[in-house]
Chains A and B, each alone.
Chain A
């Protein structure tokens, strides 16, 4: 049971990584002058769309927790709308946090907001897919002894590593190397992306290695 779950987890994560790689290479076939650094905002949008799409597809296909009892259309629609609302809210909350952390308030608003969007894509979207618009469940997953499945455990790891990557991404900004990727918010978005990818890779391995110690209360 568990091993099969871990295997599925690994495959889905590989797909997510693949989607990020695609978002780097595919647009250059359709758009001229596309590059991650120079047309960074474009790449942010595309990457966000790709990752969201892959997450949604995986959610529909894999169904990690098929526990939704009701399946009426209106319920699904309200649930979807709620998810959209949560996503938007998380974007705004991240934006506010970035500004509190020292991002410029008025200049570069679009850049900061798209950075918030991509970070939401890496963190909020998987949460929404896995846990639904249910704040209590989110809070439970992100506290000690709160995870109840392999999926939630990997969600915890990828989210934390995305945040960590974003945080580390802020460090090169003051350095005087004058590289194009040191401009706000490119280093942070790259950091978030690397953190997310690292989390995707690490979490199945970590869970596999620690599978003896991990006991989930519901399983």
Chain B
């Protein structure tokens, strides 16, 4: 099996996962571009002068203000039927007395007594019905989706144009009291604010009582133009008890009293708005799109008459965002730029001069302004993004031009008939509703089909990994048909799908095409597996994972479905990792490999294989060391915001933020010490296996380039931590250095990696091997090997011959210089390249983190070293393949990657991303380029994923590396006394170490493939669990706060990991190829 087909196969499996992720994401995370344009008073929304009755009045903007003040009472989760008047009892129907019915009696009274002053509407919220999204909608008039592209992830502040912004720029005083979500959304916008924490869902009263304490005094003081009170009690009561609980009745009665109190204090120029931001389900939750969740109450009241007609029998249904343009025009403000709501025209009928014509004209004017603004937004948006439907867009365009022409014509002839005005109103309304429908179509709907398809694709890919990882070890396994047939199927699927789409003239969606290709290609293998299932394979054989590891993976899988466990994942993952390590140690003991058998009184019947027993003695120490490392790394933790009692580690902040000079210096010393220790450890390791003596360029780079990198990093830290203390004369120098140093370190690392790719063989070449005294190497071959097969056969022979040669010379010279070492160099040639690459990668990544995280990186290297040793203790050396990496090794590796993600100070939520990483080496910012800062921040966030994925092949290599320990230990005493060398080990063969892998190239490739597939499987079930959790719990309270960010981070982590894995495997194969050509050169040199 060829290397290239292994890589291609892995790339195909990755493509399956990517297609699944993309399909799921396109159905789950609805995206929308956020525009930062603003409406302003001076600038009318459309061409031409402002229409009728808009100019000349003081304080008028687009339209004259009708109210100067507004009281907005926002009762969280005020479902429509909570406010619905209780109808007179219909005889025959059983009387229903639910705790939430008819408790808002004051609304009912007002509606009965002053029908022209008040109106109750059923407002329809757009999903997602979570409070933050609703607040965004209620102020911007748009349809916020979970990810608004272009939004600032560092804070939740709204960047789009919104009512609050318009109010403040018009100089109105906005007073807020209630839910502190507003603080994040509108930082610094309020003239006076009383925020209360919304965190504790079980607390029904703190927020409401806090508001009530301030509400009436503020109202009486008159120091406000807009007063917003956001009550949370009803929502929390729903979450805690559900709507059918007596507590809900109490809460609603309390709200009723509040409204009553406000109504008594209202003046004539004031409008009262009582609104629920969303409803709740029968269990009191919200977030989804069911009828109960999206129907909320909207109540308007003013002491002056508002309406011409009495309210209809059944309350009208209006979209929730209609409130935004309505309020804006009523208050004499411009409508926010991105609004797509439709004004509630009824409110603009002039009541005083009750002429039907003028009131209709007023309504038409409001609608016209609204339509102009929406039209302007639509044009700006479609110029910036392509996600609106073209045909519908054109239809709406035409509709708008017709309606506006009609309106302007009517305006020219003021005596026009009322009927004509009504037509214009209808046209404008049709346009506005059309726009809204189009936007909803493209922005605000979960696509369950896509979500299910994505999840199915992910599951199929996971299953495929499992299947192929198992098939790979069977003797008659050939990769090429497995690769070619799916590709053919996938292409066929794409062609058919594209043809279908072309005939039906639908837009070609690359996501769907990719998913169809993936589905098509995976179907073949699944079908084959299904066919082979019944006949040969029992079910148990399909689950080759050992049972304890399977249990662990299941627990990990299930933990993604609980928001508590996702929030506490940092602790949970340490617990699972610790359990796995103890399990490994216990298993070693159980198998009798932990302690030498002489300790045990009863001799083993099943004697364990020879070499592994010697390594086992340290396993206990390794396990304890690992647990200690994990615990120490756990000291660097950042607390999720959901656990207020927890305190984040102070060590995650950069040194520059520290105050004490002495402590700062000590910490700085510790950080530099960690760097030096890391460097020393890598050099020591290379020296131990002899690779440091090679004259190859990468080794020279390790010897000289790495210390330079350490020096550069230390200097950069010194500068950045003390930048403010620098004397003014040196300031320019310091800024210059803080630009140059990180770039220099990154450049050094890149050049080191390139060197490594160019000459990856770190073994001693001609110095020892080019000696002319060699005998003929190959008996069956004469002449240079012609094909790869020849070479595969020849090369191991050369290696053995070299060993014999060395041994022969050793006997002659009785010296043990670099000659013995040469064998080790070749024996660790793969892992030396891997370790060098990892170190070179780690340094720039480390530079992106805060200084003290370097200690975590040291721990990372230490604990992966310990883990590799522990795992190697449990794996017997197979001499000629098939080689396998056990599942527990792969699982532990993946768990450790996640654990390091947390201990480097990350959390899977957007506000905790380390944004400062974007400024390492670019203190002045990046100008307009976005990919570079994104790359830097991404590298910072997914550093551990990348390192562990690249280092994954070490899992395969390490057991072979550990083979040398036993023999070397026995050799050491003899090194000093050369006379005593005539021992029993004289006849023993030198350890082949990693050259065993070269001896069996087919098995080597299969093992690499299997390793890649297993790692992808372990990562794949994580992303599958995230996707399933996000889709099943899409109504959950925490879906946008916990599950959706977790899914995004996990998906990004998966992509980074898979790329890293691919690179790591490619590096091993590059080394393999280089070793082949290196040995080939030796052969050629010999024959000359």
Contact = CB atoms under 8 A, between A and B. Distances in A.
Contacts of A175: 562, 564-565
Interface residues of B, number: 32
A140 B594 CA distance: 12
Contacts of B628: 100
Given A142-B590, A143-B590, A174-B568, A100 B631 contact: yes
Interface in B584-620: 589-592, 595, 599-602, 604-606
Contact of B589 (A97, A143, A148): A143
Interface stretch (B98-106, B367-375, B574-582, B976-984): B574-582
Contact of B572 (A100, A139, A167, A174): A174
B627 interface: yes
Given A136-B599, A175-B564, A144 B575 contact: no
A102 B631 contact: yes
B589 A137 contact: no
Contact of B571 (A102, A143, A148, A176): A102
Given A174-B565, A175-B562, A145 B589 contact: no
Given A174-B564, A175-B564, A143 B575 contact: no
Contacts of A97: 627
Contact of B602 (A100, A102, A178, A217): A217
Interface string A129-147: 0000000110110111110
Nearest to A105: B631
A96 to B, nearest CB: 9
Contacts of B144: none
Interface in B555-571: 555, 562-565, 567-568, 571
Contacts of A145: 604-606
Nearest to B592: A143
A176 B564 contact: yes
A171 B624 CA distance: 22
Given A100-B628, A102-B574, A145-B605, A139 B595 contact: yes
A213 to B, nearest CB: 16
B634 interface: yes
B562 A101 contact: no
Contacts of B563: 176
B627 A143 contact: no
A137 B601 CA distance: 8
Interface in A140-179: 140, 142-146, 148, 167, 170-171, 174-176, 178
Given A99-B631, A174-B564, A174-B571, A140 B602 contact: yes
A100 B627 contact: yes
Given A143-B592, A175-B564, A101 B600 contact: no
B589 A142 contact: yes
Nearest to A135: B599
A174 B573 CA distance: 12
A20 B634 CA distance: 36
A146 B600 contact: yes
Contacts of A146: 600, 602
Contacts of B601: 136-137, 140
A176 B233 CA distance: 20
Contacts of A139: 589, 595, 599-600
Given A102-B571, A170-B575, A144 B564 contact: no
Interface in B616-659: 624, 627-628, 630-631, 634
Contacts, number: 62
Contacts of B579: 167
Nearest to B605: A145
Chain B CB within 10 Å, residue with most, of A136, A143, A146, A217: A143
B634 A102 contact: yes
B592 A144 contact: yes
A142 B564 CA distance: 36
B627 A101 contact: yes
Contacts of A170: 575
A101 B595 CA distance: 24
A143 B600 contact: yes
A91 to B, nearest CB: 17
A136 B589 CA distance: 13
A165 to B, nearest CB: 14
Nearest to B202: A178
A145 B603 CA distance: 10
B1070 to A, nearest CB: 40
B579 to A, nearest CB: 7
A102 B564 CA distance: 17
A83 B578 CA distance: 29
Contacts of B605: 145
A136 B600 CA distance: 6
Contacts of A137: 601
Contacts of B562: 175
A186 to B, nearest CB: 17
Contacts of B590: 142-144
A139 B597 CA distance: 11
A144 B606 CA distance: 10
B981 to A, nearest CB: 37
Contacts of A140: 600-602
Interface in A162-219: 167, 170-171, 174-176, 178, 217
A185 to B, nearest CB: 14
Contacts of A217: 602
A120 B474 CA distance: 47
Contacts of A143: 589-592, 600
A140 B597 CA distance: 10
Nearest to A217: B602
A23 to B, nearest CB: 29
B578 A101 contact: yes
A89 to B, nearest CB: 15
A167 B601 CA distance: 31
B237 to A, nearest CB: 17
A163 B624 CA distance: 18
Contacts of B564: 174-176
A139 B630 CA distance: 26
A48 B717 CA distance: 54
Contacts of A171: 555
Given A100-B631, A139-B595, A170-B575, 7 more contacts: A100-B578, A101-B627, A102-B631, A145-B606, A167-B579, A174-B564, A178-B202
Interface of B: 202, 555, 562-565, 567-568, 571-572, 574-575, 578-579, 589-592, 595, 599-602, 604-606, 624, 627-628, 630-631, 634
Interface of A: 97, 99-102, 136-137, 139-140, 142-146, 148, 167, 170-171, 174-176, 178, 217
26 contacts: A97-B627, A99-B631, A100-B624, A100-B628, A100-B631, A101-B631, A102-B574, A102-B575, A136-B601, A139-B589, A139-B595, A139-B599, A139-B600, A140-B600, A140-B601, A142-B590, A143-B590, A143-B591, A144-B591, A145-B606, A146-B602, A171-B555, A174-B567, A175-B564, A176-B563, A176-B564
> Which 9 interchain pairs have the tightest Cβ spacing?
A174-B568, A100-B627, A175-B564, A176-B564, A100-B631, A174-B564, A140-B600, A101-B578, A144-B590
